[in-house]
Structure formats: C-alpha cells, structure tokens
Amino acid sequence: MSPQSGRPKWLTLVLVLAPLWLIISAGIAIHHRVTSEASEKKRPRNQFSRSIIASEIGDDLRKITTLIGERHHSGEGPSKNLTRSASWIEGLLGPSNTGYVIEKKQAPLQWPILVAKLPGKDPEKAAVWIISTYDSRAGSNGIEANATGLVASIAAARALAGSEVNSNIHFAFLPHFNHLESPRTETAALLKNLIAENGPPKAVLCVDAMGGQAALQATSRDATLLANLPLHDLATAVEADPAYPNDDKDLASVLFEMGLPAARIATRPPLASDEPDDRMPAEATIAQSAIYLTELIKRCVNSR
C-alpha cells in the first residue's frame, strides 16, 4: 500500500493548490505594485497653481524674446536658444516648480515636443489639447510668432495646475513651426499621432499671437467646433478667410487638414510674411488675454 493511500482527498487537493495559489497571488501583487508605481510616476505631484500677474507675464515675455532671443534650427546661436527655450518651459512647468510631469517626444531634428498633462476626473472623456510653439522666424526674436502665445499658454497651465476638471487637459509645446524652413509638416504629423494615442480629442486649441488686444478671437475651418466652443463673453468667432491669408502657415489649418478639430486662439490675425515682429505688447494686455484663455480652457473641458 502506498504511504499516501490513507490521506484524505481534500488534503491532497489542498497540498497541491496551496503552493499554486501562493504563486498566483504573489504574481498579482507584483503586477499591482509595478502598475501602481508606473501610474504614480505619471501622476502629477504637488501641483501648485499660480495667479496670472501682469508683471510676471512681462518678465516671461522678456526672457523668451530678449534673454533667449532668436530660436530655430538654422545657425549655432538660434539652435542653442531653441534648446534653452525647451529647458525654460520644462523648468517653469516641471516637478520642481509648477508640479507637472513633463513628457518629451522626439520631434524631427534634435528638439522635443513637450507635453504637460492635467488629469481630469474622468480620463475616458475626450481631452482638450492646448498647443503653442516655442521657435521663432529667422532673423526675429518672435514676439507675436510666437512668444506671446507661448507665455499665455504657460500662464494658463500654471493657473490651472491642481484644478479639478472633468477630462484631461494636455499642454503641448512644439519646437518647429514659425521658421518656414523647419520641418513643420513632420512636427504637426507627430503631434497628430500623440493626440491620437490619447483618443479622439474634444478640441485642439492652437494659441498664437496674443499681444494684439485683450479680447480673444477664435478662428477655425471646423465650423461645428467653432459653433460649439463656449466663447460667450471671452472670444469672438472670426470668419476663416480674413484671418487666414496663408493657410499652410497656420498651425490650426494644418492640423485641420490632418483631421483634427483645431481652432486658432489669438488676439489678432497671423503675421504676414513681410510684417515686422518687433512690437512688445503691454503687460496688462497680454495678462488679460491669458486670463481669458484660462477661462476658455476651463469652460471647454467642463462643458458637455
């Protein structure tokens, strides 16, 4: 007779299943821990909102246009300044300052698309994307193309940090678009792929030229999007033709052609190719524009 012949069947079953259960439960625990740690790394910690103050907006505008200056890929100096611009954005919005986790996506050439994400209460809802560029034209410090749009977007991101919103907000900063010889189409296509990875967006707001006046202008070739944006007392819907003298030079139009619900948010039409870009706006004017932009983003993300 086998030594185990008198062992109850239930005991044999326990002896077989117990080690198996320990292995399975340990695997589940390890998976949960790894997943939690990965999620924790992506979750913004200690986000600190910051009020929009005219003097600080002015300081930011002077830093990007004067201390940094001309910024694009053509030439050693402007190339270094483009790198400095990316570092400056990351420093302002990153974990050691505002508290965003900054994700970097390698764009054409050596400069990244930077993305700061404000998580919403329901991440499954369609997100709102706020897009601005951090390069300039050749031979220009790029005030309206596009330092004013950049500092307004940064101010909105800082003002909204830590806020409770219904769905995700993504603040994306592109290294190429204002310089006409930069890989503009390739960069826009990469942005489109980044947006697609997060599901169909509710709206894509391209922030540009924010120093013309305080009131916002919203322009889009997507008539349905423009009608549904909660503009109200914040912005005026503008017909596409007057504000789009060069559609291929406007980021919102390029993204629209790629199938995205894109609108240009600005306070004036795009700069003409021969128009000088050397007028610094009043601090109070661009600060008020940034406040309107912040409110527009909140309304957009929280509306049905």
Domain total for the chain?
Answer: 2
Nearest to 219 by CA among 246, 192, 248, 244: 244
Domain of 120, in residue numbers: 49-302
CA 194 to chain CA centroid, nearest Å? 10
User: Is the domain of 162 the same as that of 214?
Assistant: yes
17 and 67 Cβ atoms separated by less than 8 Å:
no
User: Is the domain of 23 the same as that of 80?
Assistant: no
Within-domain flag for 234: yes
260 and 190 Cβ atoms separated by less than 8 Å:
no
User: Is the domain of 144 the same as that of 256?
Assistant: yes
The pLDDT profile of the chain, 304 residues, written as one tens digit per residue, is 444 456 666 556 656 666 666 666 655 655 555 444 444 444 444 677 889 999 999 999 999 999 999 999 999 999 999 999 999 999 999 999 999 999 999 999 999 999 999 999 999 999 999 999 999 999 999 999 999 999 999 999 999 999 999 999 999 999 999 999 999 999 999 999 999 999 999 999 999 999 999 999 999 999 999 999 999 999 999 877 544 545 566 899 999 999 999 999 999 999 988 899 999 999 999 999 999 999 999 999 998 7
Within-domain flag for 1: no
Q: Return d(Cα 235, Cα 282) in angstroms, integer.
A: 19
User: Is the domain of 54 the same as that of 37?
Assistant: no
240 and 252 Cβ atoms separated by less than 8 Å:
no
